[in-house]
Amino acid sequence: MSNPDPTELSPVSPRISPTASPRLAALAKAVLEGGTKARSSLRRRLVGELLAKAPRDYQTEIDVAVERIIVDALSTSFPSYAIKGEEAVGNRNAKDGAPIIYIDPIDGTTNFAWGIPHFGMTISIVEDAEIVAGVVYDAMLDELFSAELGGGSYLNGERIRCVSSKGIEDVLVGAGLPIPGQLKAVPEEIYFSALKRLMATTAGVRRLGSAALSIAYVACGRLDGFFEDGLSLHDYAASALLVREAGGEVTAFNGGPVTANGDVLAGNRVLHPWLVEGFQA
Ligand code: IPD
Ligand code: CA
Ligand code: CA
């Protein structure tokens, strides 16, 4: 008998907050549907099978197919919402002030394209310039992270919280390793010195390959902190909400609000100020 599809065994509601709104449930259902497609399509792809949207920025046919599944699942349920998907499969505008659905169908496409089973799938809703709901799904581990503003953060239906790390020697921090041209907020020397400081002082640095999942890992304590420059809202919105609702902080590298540069620094409350210090010239 073939392995059962985990999403068939797991209806949505026990996997999100008991107080979740119908719209969070709709995001969860859509991302689980997309996950079935992604999970069954993972394999090493050769470079000739990939579309390079820009140097080192790849797209597979599955990024597009998954975004299509998510758009089809959500567009009729949210007819007045704008849609901004990374692959622009069903993007649409809406009235000024309408909520916006952000979709990153596969966050970690490089991992996915090389057959590495670690990538996230993420959907969020931004309303009145605030992130109000979001899901991040690890299709390979069948882990569904979800959060709603004021409603807490959940992993497969269990409440999650950031861990308050103790000494700097005992923290594990995730970070992006930028490709050329990615850094927007700080010069290379500053970014690399922040990384070196982590290597010299912490338990270790992890570059896992999906910013969305790495930030979600801060929300559940698998990482104590994470930073990367040059991210987009579709990458980080859902997981930033997860961290905040799990008691952590998400800011720009200077400790202020995240800007269009997409420099995102997430951490538990104890570690976050120390990580910000690493970016002071
Ligand atoms: C990328 C992943 C990766 C990060 C890149 C992102 P994509 O998203 O999050 O971990 O380092 O900056 O662009 O392109 O795979 O959706
Ligand atoms: Ca992404
Ligand atoms: Ca993507």
Digit-coded pLDDT (tens) for 1-32: 344 454 444 589 999 999 999 999 999 999 99
Please, what are the domains in the chain?
A: 6-160 (3.30.540.10), 168-277 (3.40.190.80)
pLDDT of amino acid 165: 77
CA of 214 from ligand 2 middle (Å) equals 12
Give the span between the Cα atoms of 211 and 209, in whole angstroms.
6
Give the span between the Cα atoms of 234 and 232, in whole angstroms.
5
Q: Which residues does the chain have with pLDDT short of 50?
A: 1-4, 6-9
Q: Which atom of ligand 1 is nearest to the CA of 209?
A: 10
CB 276 within 8 A of CB 254: yes
The pTM for the full model equals 0.95
Mean pLDDT of the chain: 95
Amino acid identity, position 54: A
Nearest ligand (C-alpha, residue 57): 1
Cβ of 109 below 6 Å from ligand 1: yes
Cβ of 104 below 6 Å from ligand 1: yes
Sheet with 172-175: list strands edge to edge. 204-206, 172-175, 225-228, 264-267, 249-251
Pocket test for ligand 1, best of 57, 70, 104, 110 (most atoms within 8 A of CB): 110
Cβ of 139 below 6 Å from ligand 1: no
49 alpha-carbon distance from chain centroid: 25
pLDDT of amino acid 10: 55
Write out pLDDT tens, residues 175-222.
999 999 999 999 999 999 999 999 999 999 999 999 999 999 999 999
CA of 156 from ligand 1 middle (Å) equals 24
